[in-house]
Every structure is written in C-alpha cells, then in structure tokens.
A and B are shown apart, each in its own frame.
Chain A
Amino acid sequence: GAVVSQHPSRVICKSGTSVKIECRSLDFQATTMFWYRQFPKKSLMLMATSNEGSKATYEQGVEKDKFLINHASLTLSTLTVTSAHPEDSSFYICSARRGGSYNEQFFGPGTRLTVL
C-alpha cells in the first residue's frame, strides 16, 4: 500500500510553454501533498504544501505565480510550471501524507523536466 504516482515521468518542452505535472495517491486519501524540486547531486528542496480544497502554502523564495499548485481531490495534486525557462529544468518530486495517525510521507517517483 501507500503508492504515489507521478505523470509524466519525463518531459521536454520549449522555453515559454507551460507544463503540468500530476501527483496521485493510488491507494489512500492524502490530506496533504507536498512538492519538492531537486537539482543534480543536491538534496530535495520543499517548494510548497497543499491541502485538499485550500490554497497551497509556498516556501520562502518560491514564486506562487510561477509554480501553480492545485489540490482538487484527496488523491490528486497538480503542479503547473508556467512560462518555463531553462533554469526551471529540474527533478520535481511530490509526496503525500495519509493523515490521522499515519504521518509519514510517501513519495512519487519524480518527474524530470527539461526546458530547451
């Protein structure tokens, strides 16, 4: 149990386009989902926290108009990178928390975004 999927696993896009990444909890309801980005050989950096049905909370320095997060249901959160530029190229990872007495986060496999 506790499987989290991401789609797509890899995406290449042109500069100036927008890219949407989906994060789904497959066998549990996620009260909270998190989005991270990771640069090569670096640690994960938390971008934002999203709770179902409410606005996401962004970490300091993360542009909310650049990285749009929607958490429309208890099993789906989406991250849209708007007007992507080469510096947005990164590995984006989501995680989901079951809530209740289960507080560990379960991570998706990640999405590698390359902006040309």
Chain B
Amino acid sequence: DAKTTQPPSMDCAEGRAANLPCNHSTISGNEYVYWYRQIHSQGPQYIIHGLKNNETNEMASLIITEDRKSSTLILPHATLRDTAVYYCIVRATTSGTYKYIFGTGTRLKVLA
C-alpha cells in the first residue's frame, strides 16, 4: 500500500490560501489521491480526490505533480471553520476492497 507523508501541523491566517502538502512517492499508476478532513470528535469529511489531473470543487483545489509523487490541497480562502486535521490518503486496492490507510495528517489551525 502506498503511504503518505504530511507535515504534522500548519497555521494559516484567516482569508489567506492554505496550501497543504502531501508526499506519496510510492504511489502506483492506478491509485487515486483522496483528501479528507476531520473536525474534532466528528467523522472525516470528504474534500476532493484525483488521479493525475488537477481538480477543483466548491471546497478546494487539488494539484498533483506530473510524476504523481506529491500533491497539494489548496483551500483558497481559509476560514476559522477550516481548522481541522487534514488527511491525504492513497487508496489501496488490495483484493479490490478499496480500503483507506490513514496517515497522521496535518493539523491546520486557521488564525483570526
């Protein structure tokens, strides 16, 4: 299973863009990158996912490098409600079960 590496914590000023990096150097060709976030004592919330092209939705943008060994989640205008732990996951497909292996994540604190 591909593993991910993320910085343990980051701060971001409210209203500024938050750029959260993730390394997944052992990713294989058919594995997707997923991003979730978890606000304290809640279940993780889906943000975005991608394979090799950059993706954008109403919550965030996902930039994947050409070699696919790393990606960056961008929250364009961070708010205090974006304070959470952000998880970058490479979807494992062992036996076709599509299970997620969570890493330690990045604790993002948005500052007023």
Give the contacting residue for B102; candidates A43, A91, A110; CB below 8 A. A43
Determine chain A's interface SS by DSSP, over half rule.
strand
Chain A nearest CB, measured from B92 CB (Å): 10
Contact: B100 with A43, CB < 8 Å? Answer: no
B contact residues, range: 20 to 34
A107 to B38, CA, bound (A): 10
Give the contacting residue for A93; candidates B32, B43, B105; CB below 8 A. B43
- Chain A 1-36 residues near chain B, CB threshold 8 A: 2, 4, 6, 32, 34, 36
A104 to B98, CA, bound (A): 9
Could you say which residues of chain B place their CB within 8 Å of the CB of A108? 43
Contact: B46 with A104, CB < 8 Å? Answer: yes
A109 to B32, CA, bound (A): 24
Whether A85 sits at the interface, judged by CB under 8 Å, is no
Chain A nearest CB, measured from B50 CB (Å): 11
Interface 1/0s, chain A 97-116, versus B by CB < 8 A?
10000011111111010000
Chain A residue at minimum C-beta to C-beta distance from B46: A104
Could you say which residues of chain A place their CB within 8 Å of the CB of B38? 44
Chain A nearest CB, measured from B98 CB (Å): 6
A45 to B99, CA, bound (A): 11
Binding site for A on B (CB under 8 A): 32, 34, 36, 38, 41-46, 49, 87, 91, 95, 97-105
Please name the 10 residue pairs, one residue from A and one from B, whose CB atoms are nearest each other, closest first.
Answer: A107-B43, A44-B102, A43-B102, A107-B44, A109-B43, A110-B43, A49-B97, A93-B43, A108-B43, A43-B104
A to B CB contacts below 8 Å, 14 in the list = A2-B46, A32-B97, A43-B87, A43-B105, A44-B38, A44-B44, A46-B99, A49-B97, A49-B99, A95-B43, A103-B98, A107-B46, A108-B43, A110-B41
